[in-house]
Amino acid sequence: MKFDTPATALNPIDQQKVIGRSHDRIDGPAKVTGTAPYAYERNGMAPNAAYGWIVGSAIATGRIVSIDSRDALAAPGVLKVVTYENAGKLAKAKNHTAHMLAGPMVEHYDQAVALVVAETFEQARDAAKMVRVQYTQGTPKGDLAAQKDSAIKPKGGKPDTAVGDFAGAFARSAVKVDETYTTPDHSHAMMEPHATIASWTGDKLTLWTSNQMIDWAVGDMATTLMIPRENVRVDSPFIGGGFGGKLWVRSDAVMAALGARAVGRPVKVTLARPQIMNNTTHRPATIQRLRIGAGKDGRIDAIAHEVWSGDLEGGSPETAANATRLLYRGENRMTSHRLAVLNLGEGNAMRAPGEAVGLLALEAAMDELAEKLNMDPVQLRIVNDTQFDPEKGESRPFSSRKLVEALKVGADRFGWSKRNPKPGQVRDGKWLVGMGMASAFRDNVTMDSGARVGVDSKGLVTVETDMTDIGTGTYTIIAQTAAEMMGVPLEGVVVKLGDSRFPASAGSGGQWGANSSTAGVYAACMTLRTQLAQKAGFNADATFADGKITSGNRSVSLGEAAGATGTVVTDKIEFGDLSKKYAQATFGSHFAEVGVDMATGEIRVRRMGGAFAAGRILNPKSARNQVIGAMAMGVGAALMEDAVPDPRFGYFVNHDMAEYHVPVHADIPKQDVFFLSELDEKSSPMKAKGVGELGICGAGAAIANAVYNACGVRIRDYPLTLDKVIKGMA
C-alpha cells in the first residue's frame, strides 16, 4: 500500500475500539516470569553450543604485529581461536564504520581481535587472557576539544544550512545570547549485553541475536561474511534494550558466526559488560555554539547553531543542530556540523541522535535568552512558534504541530506559575529549589514496513513481521492494530516478531517503529479484509466487527470466510513524499523541579512533568512508559552520564556500570505525562507519530534550567555534577 495522500477520510483504525486505549502488554506475563527468551538463552534452538569469548584490542589505533594463540589453544576445553589470520576473507558492511574483527589494523580500543571458543564459558573466558597479541601502537586522538580545529565539513547528509543574513541580523539584534555548551560521550548501557548464538547448517547461517533492525542485520551479516543474503537468518524476538546500540550487528554476531564456522557447531557469544562501551557504539560528545538574537518582544531574528563532534575515520557527525532547523521561527539562521577524527570507537546513534544533545544546548540557550529578556521561558517559546519549516518557508507546513498547546498544558499541570523567576530564592531546608522547562522536539520519520497477516479457520488472527520489540510495546500495539482492523478482540491476535523469515519491517529506531510498523500491519490487514470479503461474497462496504464480516443483514464469521486452510496475505506500507511536502515532527514540553543541596551541590530531581503531542497514541499505557523512561534518560544526560575518554590511550576509562552512572530508582521521582489529543493524517494511515524518543528531547535541559533557577549557577558543560555546582556557588 502506497501512502502518498493524507488519510483525511475515516478508516477502520479511527474506530478506536482497541487501538488508542491502554492495554497491558500481551508479552507481559512472559517477561515477568522470566520465560521470554533473550538471545543468549536460546539453548533449545542450538543445543551443544560452545562458548565464545571476545579478546578486545589493548590499543586504540595501530597494527597487530603478531598473535600467539598457542597457550590459549592448549588450555582446557579450548576448541579454536579465531583471528583475522584464520577467519577467512571478510568485508565491511556499509553500516559499520570500523571492522567487526580487527587485523592487521586496529581501529579502536576493545575492537575484537580474537574469539576464543571453548566447551564452557569459564574456559573460554580464562583462555582469552592467554592470547598474546603484540601491537605497534599509533598515537590516539581522544580529546574533541583538542581536535576541534581539525574538524572538517562531513561528506554526505546536510551538514550546513543557511537562510537570510544571520551575521547581520545577529549584530543588529536587541538581545543576544552567544554561549558554548558541551555534552560528553554517552553509552547506551542497555541491560542486556549484545549477545548471539550462531549456528551453521551447510552454508546457511542462523543467528539468534539481540538486534533492533532485522533486515539490516541480515544484509550486514551477508556483506561481512561475503555470503548471499538468502543464506542468513536472524531471529530476535526479545531484545533487552537497544536505544540505538543494537541497530546494527556488532562483533558478538560476527564473531559467533565465525566461531561456529570454525568449530563446526553452534557458538554463543556475549560481550562482557566492561567491553561494551569501547567495543560497540556510543553517542559522541559535542561542542555546540549557540547564538540567538531577538527583539525586545522576544521574537527571534537570528539563530545559529554550530556543532563539533568526532568519530572514527569515515564516520559521521552527531547532528545536534537538526532540531534548531525546525523548532523556532526566525528569518536569519544557520546551522553547521563539523567532524573531527577521534580514536574512541564508533560514534553513532543513541536514542534521539541529534535532538537529544542538541536540545541540551538549544533549550539551555533559550533559558538564558528568556532571562536576558526578562521574559517567562514558556512565553518566549510561544512567541517563537512557527507553523512551517522556517528554513523552507510557508511552502512546507508542519503536518501537525501542537507545541504551544503542549507548553500551555504542561505549564498548567506542573504549576509553573508558582515559579519564582529569580534564581536562588526558594529554600526547603538544606535544599535550594528551582523549576525549569524546555520544549520537546523530535523528528517524525517514517520507514516502509511489511507484514504478513493471516486468519485461520477458527478466526484466530496471526501477524508476522520482522519488526522488533525492544521494550517499546510493539507486540501489543501490533496486536491492537490487527484486532481493530479485523474486528476481533486483542486476545484473538497472535503476534510473531523479530524473525527474518517474516516480511521486512521498519525495525526499531529513530522512533519510527511504532507508527511505521503498525501502518505496515494496517496495509496487510486492508488487503486481507478485501480478500476475505471477496471470499465471502461481500462488496467493499463490508464491516469487520465482533469476529464477523457483515454487509447489510448478512454476516459471516472471520474463520468461515478464511476457509478451512485459512487466508494469509503479505503487504507493506510504502511512504511517499508526504514527509517532504510536510515537515513532520513530534512536540512537547518538559518541566522539572530540582533541589540543590546548598552545601554539597548534589542535585536531586523532585518532580518532572510534561505534555506531548505525537499523533494518535496507540497504547497510552506503553507510550507513557516510553516517555517516562526517556525523561529518566534525560536525567542521566543532565546529571551523571559521562563516558570519559583518556586521550593518552584513546578509550573510555569508566567502561562499566559501576563507573558509568545511569540513573537508579532513587534518582527518578514521580513523572506526570499528558498526551495531547492529535491525529496526524499526513504521517500514516494510523495517524500516529513516533513517541519513543520524544521524551528525552529537552528533558535534560529542563533540569539544567531548573538547577539554574534553584541555585543561580549556570553550567554549560554537561553533566551537571556537584563539583561544577559548588564551583559556581563559591
Of 31, 94, 158, 580, the residue at the interface with another protein (CB under 8 A) is: 31
Nearer to another protein, 137 or 462 (CB): 137
* φ, ψ at 670 (rounded to 5°): -60, 140
In which element (H, E) is residue 9 found? none
Q: Name the DSSP class of 694.
A: G
118 binds another protein (CB under 8 A): no
Nearer to another protein, 91 or 191 (CB): 191
480 binds another protein (CB under 8 A): no
Cα–Cα distance measured from residue 464 to residue 467, given in angstroms and rounded to the nearest whole number? 8
- Give the residue among 711, 673, 53 at the shortest CA–CA distance from 414: 673
User: 631-670: which residues touch another protein (CB under 8 A)?
Assistant: 631-633, 639-640, 644, 646, 648-649, 653-659, 661-670
User: 334-353: which residues touch another protein (CB under 8 A)?
Assistant: none
Contact call for residues 209 and 195 (beta carbons, < 8 A): yes
Helix (H, G, I), strand (E, B) or coil at 460: coil
User: 7-26: which residues touch another protein (CB under 8 A)?
Assistant: 24-25
Of 621, 679, 712, 728, the residue at the interface with another protein (CB under 8 A) is: 621
- Strand blocks (E) in 142-245: 161-163, 175-183, 195-201, 204-209, 232-235
Contact call for residues 80 and 262 (beta carbons, < 8 A): yes
719 binds another protein (CB under 8 A): yes
Q: How many whole angstroms from its chain centre is CA 77?
A: 40
Q: How many residues bind another protein, per CB under 8 A?
A: 119
User: 669-708: which residues touch another protein (CB under 8 A)?
Assistant: 669-671
- Cβ burial of 679 (10 Å; 0-12, 13-18, 19+) is middle
Q: Which amino acid, 244?
A: G
- Give the residue among 443, 423, 510, 602 at the shortest CA–CA distance from 216: 510
33 binds another protein (CB under 8 A): yes
Helix%, strand%, coil% for the chain, nearest 5: 30, 30, 45
Grid coordinates representing 536? 465471502
Cα–Cα distance measured from residue 421 to residue 440, given in angstroms and rounded to the nearest whole number? 21
- Give the residue among 309, 317, 327, 379 at the shortest CA–CA distance from 143: 309
Q: Is 107 a catalytic residue?
A: no
Instruction: In angstroms, give the least distance from the CB of 296 to another protein.
Output: 39
Cα–Cα distance measured from residue 315 to residue 424, given in angstroms and rounded to the nearest whole number? 43
Instruction: In angstroms, give the least distance from the CB of 44 to another protein.
Output: 8
**Residue 89 CA: distances (Å) to CA of 52, 113, 197, 587:** 20, 15, 21, 47
Nearer to another protein, 436 or 650 (CB): 650
Nearer to another protein, 459 or 650 (CB): 650
Nearer to another protein, 31 or 458 (CB): 31
Of 5, 16, 86, 136, the residue at the interface with another protein (CB under 8 A) is: 136
Instruction: In angstroms, give the least distance from the CB of 545 to another protein.
Output: 28
Instruction: In angstroms, give the least distance from the CB of 712 to another protein.
Output: 16
Instruction: In angstroms, give the least distance from the CB of 211 to another protein.
Output: 13
Of 143, 192, 571, 693, the residue at the interface with another protein (CB under 8 A) is: 192
Among the candidate windows 167-175, 309-317, 411-419, 621-629, which touches another protein by CB under 8 A?
Answer: 621-629
Q: Name the DSSP class of 536.
A: T
Cα–Cα distance measured from residue 373 to residue 293, given in angstroms and rounded to the nearest whole number? 11
Residue position matching grid coordinates 560481550: 271
Among the candidate windows 59-67, 178-186, 290-298, 414-422, which touches another protein by CB under 8 A?
Answer: 59-67
User: 222-241: which residues touch another protein (CB under 8 A)?
Assistant: 238-241
Of 2, 4, 5, 66, the residue at the interface with another protein (CB under 8 A) is: 66
From 306, 346, 464, 693, active-site residue: 693
147 binds another protein (CB under 8 A): no
Residue position matching grid coordinates 512508559: 625
Nearer to another protein, 177 or 344 (CB): 344
511 binds another protein (CB under 8 A): no
User: 554-613: which residues touch another protein (CB under 8 A)?
Assistant: 597-604
82 binds another protein (CB under 8 A): no
Among the candidate windows 137-145, 393-401, 452-460, 531-539, which touches another protein by CB under 8 A?
Answer: 137-145
**Residue 722 CA: distances (Å) to CA of 432, 441, 602:** 14, 28, 5
Contact call for residues 297 and 238 (beta carbons, < 8 A): no
379 binds another protein (CB under 8 A): no
User: 417-446: which residues touch another protein (CB under 8 A)?
Assistant: 430
113 binds another protein (CB under 8 A): yes
Of 628, 686, 702, 707, the residue at the interface with another protein (CB under 8 A) is: 628
272 binds another protein (CB under 8 A): yes
454 binds another protein (CB under 8 A): no
Cα–Cα distance measured from residue 88 to residue 485, given in angstroms and rounded to the nearest whole number? 49
133 binds another protein (CB under 8 A): yes
629 binds another protein (CB under 8 A): yes
Among the candidate windows 269-277, 523-531, 552-560, 581-589, which touches another protein by CB under 8 A?
Answer: 269-277
Instruction: In angstroms, give the least distance from the CB of 639 to another protein.
Output: 6
Nearer to another protein, 31 or 158 (CB): 31
Neighbour tally for 131: CB within 10 Å? 22
Neighbour tally for 567: CB within 10 Å? 18
The helix-helix angle for 513-535 and 474-486 (nearest 10°) equals 30
Instruction: In angstroms, give the least distance from the CB of 257 to another protein.
Output: 21
Cα–Cα distance measured from residue 481 to residue 245, given in angstroms and rounded to the nearest whole number? 28
Which residues carry out catalysis?
Answer: 693
